[in-house]
Amino acid sequence: MSPQPPSPTPEGGALAGLRVVDLTRVLGGPYATQILGDHGADIIKLEPPQGDEVRQWGPPFHEGDASYFIGVNRNKRSLSADLSRPEGREILFRLLEDADVLVENFKAGTLERWGLGFDEVLAPRFPRLIHCRISGFGSEGPRGGLPGYDAIAQCMTGMFTVNGTPESGPTRIGVPVVDMTTGLYAVVGLLMALIERQRSGKGQFLEVPLYDSALSFMHPHAANYFLSGKLPKLTGNAHPNISPYDTYSTASVPVFLAIGNDAAYAKLCTALGCPELARDERFLTNGLRVTNREALKVEMEARLVTREGVALCDELLALGLPAGAIRTLDAAFEDPQAVHRGATLAQDWYRGVNTPLRFSRSRSGLRHLPPKLGANGAAILAEAGFDDGEIANLKAAGIVRLPDEEARS
């Protein structure tokens, strides 16, 4: 059976029945919990009274919320509560009674200072709870407990030094790859902990630092350095270990060729009408092509200068040769393949990038639009056993922030 495309209004999902209390802000944590929410988990996003700060990271905005927030906070319900006050922490305790997972990215020591430490308080009170902390540098070590940010982790782990050209110098990768990969690691770790809990019946604490995550995916540069002792150089779009694996000019748009072995290289030369390049002694093996990559690029572009890039890439892909024209973001989402795969979710004003996971039975999709701050607060509190009077008192005391219309409903 072929995988089912995600449904815009799913009835369930692979994680249906899982309840997650989400205290995270900014990107890594919200991205992780959105993945869980896309696949059926009930995500309660508990925000401070001022809200997740990325609600302000715009323009563009929709009704006061920035695209940065909107892009990673669908399929969640929002409750705004002040955890720095005892009454706010009591709300969290009530929510955790029915929760499977707690995810947070507070500075190390914050929850402990509030009397919410895992070993001392949470584990004894909620023995099946899985507590995931996303942090900058981890809780221990010379920089333990210090805040971390995507670009700082990129520059400190060598990422800048493998991205860019000799002319540009070390360059930040243009997407927040550390934050988002840390979010993916968090999801993987949480699912592992949930599987382990099925055997042991016990929850546990999991920490996923940005710094550790960034170091972990410095492949192949770390492997090359460990084996050779040589530091990587800035090579632009070229691969340090493979050639031809780079951008090349054509008569229209630049294209990227990713030719990973000698047989594919010979096939490429035949397809381009230059079989003599496959026999050129400078380019007989991948090792020789890497050594002579600049000469090979000159030879390749001399043959590509008359070819239309998009059509050429389609021809090469049909032959099993990895090739792609460099596209703008609008063209990428309008591509027939992206449309066929359901690459975006849309409802009313909302449009977002869909989950790439496709199951044969379990459905994913859009159940909740990104919530306004505190939009679901009264309903969440009622589910946790607070009556109308208690909710009104919490609102009056400034412990929770509720929209007036919901507080009256």
> Average pLDDT of 134-154?
92
Q: Please identify every residue annotated as catalytic.
A: 179
**pTM listed for this prediction:** 0.90
How far, rounded to the nearest angstrom, does the alpha carbon of residue 348 sit from its chain's CA centroid?
24
> Average pLDDT of 44-53?
95
What are the backbone angles phi and psi of residue 222, rounded to the nearest 5°?
A: -65, -45
Class of domain 245-334: alpha beta
Work out the pLDDT band at 3, boundaries 50, 70, 90: low
Please report the pLDDT score of residue 12 as a whole number.
75
pLDDT digits (tens, 9 = 90+) for 155-202: 999 999 999 999 999 999 999 999 999 999 999 999 999 999 999 999
pLDDT digits (tens, 9 = 90+) for 274-310: 999 999 999 999 999 999 999 999 999 999 999 999 9
Class of domain 19-217+343-408: alpha beta
Domain parsing of the chain, residue ranges? 19-217+343-408, 245-334
The reply to whether 245-334 shares the fold of 19-217+343-408 is no
pLDDT digits (tens, 9 = 90+) for 214-267: 999 999 999 999 999 999 999 899 999 999 999 999 999 999 999 999 999 999
pLDDT at 55 over 90: yes
